[in-house]
Structure 1
């Protein structure tokens, strides 16, 4: 049985960690899959032509907010010209709406919900044995029976023991991914339950074995990988796990850069000190603050102590050794244009190396999508970006879109950084003095 795994990446420089995990797990259990990656910028007919030129029995797609509409378009056309191919979807964009996807797109045969390594392997095993994978329920697998009835599991599953999942990269990848971002993870899950996000839906955090992680990081270093981007949702959630890894990164003899997503509330003097002293360019951190408004944070089940965050982050920025990227979200509950401006001023006053202004997306499966009291109106198609809220009319969203574009072009691009920073800081000070 010829199994091909695919996805539509948002850019050429991106690569799919998920597909490589599936392939590595399958290979460890005697199954062989091929990987073919495309991008959303490629013509659909070119993708269709490439797929149909291959000998494929089962075709799997990893689905995300940036590719779901185009993926379903591709899937419909593949099924139209190659009805013999079994089509399986997986990924966060379909894990919480399997029946909706199966009813909407009849070209889809199965949906794998949640972490797919074990579920996908079991489904392929069933198909190889002439079964449909639905008679004996496979956790995480939902599908369309020959009668048209939807059957199977309705749960999004997790892999409890991450040590059972092999390292996802092989030597050939280092050639194919030479000019692409290398994604990696040392843990899965999140201890928090922020209502705009899917990562903390089960509040479970699991770790890959630490000694194995050291060896894998050294493998990247030995292969002179330019950047290893950790996709751990909260890298610094467990000191026994992340501190030895950060010391390893600091002390390694390498030019490799390590990108970490860190929760500022969990940063102590230890984390601040190591990031102030690490070799320049060795580590960069992404810090999601999202808002400094307590009422907003309470509504989305998030806690931020802004004075504490400033104390932890400011020395790192001033030391200039670790690149600090900070995040805000437009459209959260109770935050109108003026209050968002205060959150922006709070973060901008630290002069981070990058300050990203994102716009709330009502992800399927997220808590905010069910919060009717905030009168959300969003784009009905992915990525479901907010258009209005109970306190933020569309004209203000549009204004903030323009502001984000200008800010990205001037500040985050590092063009006119000094002038922009000076003017911005002066305006914030004048506003504070007259308040």
Structure 2
């Protein structure tokens, strides 16, 4: 019966056998909320962070599709779970998405060959491509919702192996207004995780105009800035803050918070929510590398709630040139840190090891400058 509801499990796995900060699975939350807006009640979604809960759920009630979020920090855990599921249910389709993959076709083919449990990989932002896969499967009889059926789909932005050869195409998603994705907070998709004490993580925009060669944001496919509307952002912040829950912190996943002047307004709104609810005590964000004057206003507004986080990566001119970072002014960033020192509670940076052109001595010099 083609009208029989479809069951989809989406997993953003994290090790949970010891106490650690755990964040709501925002990425798969977006995928579920958008897909639900496309297919409606014909598909049931269940989201997982725990590998144990996922594997138990698969055995208890076999889904029609499993999707994993693939990051560098959960790659091994995802591989363990995916292989366990594929071994037990060879015909169950499994798809992956996320940044932990090379973006050239040779790299994609290697990934799929080395991760044989993956039937399809969705590149870049996966809301639209994943929804198309789900929509195609939901129109089939339950017995036809198979791994072979998924591998046979031609969906833009997805790759698969057919007879050992790579088939597919890069993502052609040109959406600039991100509000087409319903909020996974406001729709209640992430409520269970908030109830369990997971830390809320939010996006106000996506993309990065810089081209740092070591960074996933640095590729051309992700260098255009896309925004959620201010109305949407404020509604999400209010939903989270006024729910009666308490959180250790709010986290913004933007690559460059403060790159837009409107981020001052977001900071003001967030500060007002803190003053009203006191439901969180810290705001974590990745400050923009543009070092614009209005970023000082953000620090002044948030004050003790946040720290100054400027990721230098290296303070050696040759290394910065090698990683395409010479267009970011170290002097302006240092000046920004000085201006923010009287407002935020501390200063933090990142100095990476093993960048192109880096030597033992140059790395030590970067550390000395950062600590000085």
Bin for the TM-score computed over the shorter chain: 0.7 to 0.9
Larger Rg over CA atoms:
1
Normalising by structure 1, report the TM-score: 0.71
Pick aligned residue for 1:17 from 15, 23, 26: 26
What TM-score, normalized to structure 2?
Answer: 0.82
Match of 1:76 in 2: 83
Say whether 1:102 aligns with 2:112.
yes
- Tell me, yes or no, if the aligned pair for 1:272 and 1:315 is still in contact at 8 Å: yes
**For residues 114 and 228 of structure 1, what CA distance do their matches in structure 2 show?**
24
SS of residue in 2 equivalent to 1:2: strand
Report the equivalent of 1:91. Answer: 98
Q: How does 1:53-72 map to 2 (within 5 A)?
A: 53-72=60-79
Q: Does 1:246 align with 2:300?
A: no
CA distance in 2: counterparts of 1:74 and 1:212, whole angstroms: 35
2:94–2:119 contact (8 Å) kept in structure 1: yes
User: 1:142, CA displacement in angstroms?
Assistant: 1.8
Residue correspondences, number:
338
Matches for 1:39-188 after TM superposition, within 5 Å: 48-94=55-101, 96=103, 97-130=107-140, 132=149, 137-145=154-162, 148-150=163-165, 152-158=167-173, 160=175, 161-169=177-185, 170-171=187-188, 173-177=190-194, 178-188=196-206
Q: Which runs of 5+ in 1 are unaligned?
A: 350-435
Alpha-carbon contact 2:309-2:348 (below 8 Å) kept: yes
CA distance in 1, matches of 2:166, 2:331: 52
Query: Structure 1 164/337 Cα, relative in aligned 2: closer, same or farther at 3 Å?
Result: same
- Would you say 1:276 and 2:300 are equivalent positions? yes
1:57 Cα deviation from its structure 2 partner: 1.7
Q: Which residue of 1 aligns with 2:3?
A: none
Whether contact under 8 Å (2:12, 2:49) holds in the other structure is yes
Q: Distance in 2 between the 1:195 and 1:38 partners?
A: 33
2:233 to 209, 213, 217: 213
CA contact (8 A) 2:7 2:65 kept: yes
Residue 50 of structure 2: aligned partner: 38
Name which of structure 1's ranges 162-171 and 129-138 shifts more when overlaid on structure 2. 129-138
1:260 to 260, 285, 293: 285
Instruction: Give the aligned partner of residue 321 of structure 1.
Output: 344
Q: State the alpha-carbon separation in 1 of the partners of residues 361 and 164 from structure 2.
A: 51
The C-alpha deviation readout for 1:221-272, integer Å capped at 9, x for no partner, is 2124522211111122222x322212323344243332221124x2233322
CA shift at 1:172, angstroms?
7.0
Contact 1:26 1:32 in 2 (8 A): no
Indicate the RMSD between aligned Cα atoms, in angstroms: 2.5
Q: Is the 8 A contact 2:268 2:301 kept in 1?
A: no
Q: Which shifted more, 127-136 or 113-122?
A: 127-136
Change (3 A) 1:313 1:144: same
Return the structure number with greater strand share: 1
Cα drift, residue 194 of structure 1: 0.2
Q: Distance in 1 between matches of 2:325 and 2:219?
A: 14
Larger RCO, structures 1/2 (Cα 8 Å, 6+ apart): 2
- Residue 273 of structure 1 deviates from its aligned partner by 4.1
Would the alpha carbon gap of residues 54 and 140 (structure 1) be closer, same or farther in structure 2, given more than 3 Å must change? same
- 1:421 is aligned to none
Structure 1 residue corresponding to 2:216, chosen from 198, 215, 219: 198
Which residue does the alignment assign to 1:411?
Answer: none
Other structure's SS at 2:116 match:
coil
Q: Which moved more, 1:101-110 or 1:208-217?
A: 101-110
1:91, 1:112 within 8 Å by CA — same for their partners in 2? yes
1:341 deviation in Å?
1.8
Shift of 1:67: 1.9
SS at match of 2:251: strand
Distance 2:123 2:213 in 1: 20
